[in-house]
Amino acid sequence: MKSSDLKEYIVEQNCIDTILEDLGCGNIVLHGGYYTCSNPDGDNKNAVVVYIGENLTVVNYTRNISKNKNTTDLFDLVSFYKDCSFPESLKY
């Protein structure tokens, strides 16, 4: 399965909040077209924003989750929190 297919599945099945919860994020709130939450080890309720869409773009305002990319996605967030590679984040 390609990562784009997996992203599509995650959006269609409304799994974003479940994934964030499983990663340990807190204060998960849906705001229409995006989710906000805190980092697993933080208390800033709006530290992480996950935009619902084909790219599942993520902005983490308090952590540098990817040093070599301009934009990050849900798989980058999983890789950062779980300290794993991209292929491992897809399996997660």
> pTM of the full predicted structure?
0.92
Mean pLDDT, residues 76-82: 96
In the chain, the N- to C-terminal Cα span, in Å, equals 13
What counts of helices (H) and strands (E) characterise the chain?
4, 5
Q: Is the pLDDT of residue 53 over 80?
A: yes
Q: Is the pLDDT of residue 14 over 90?
A: yes
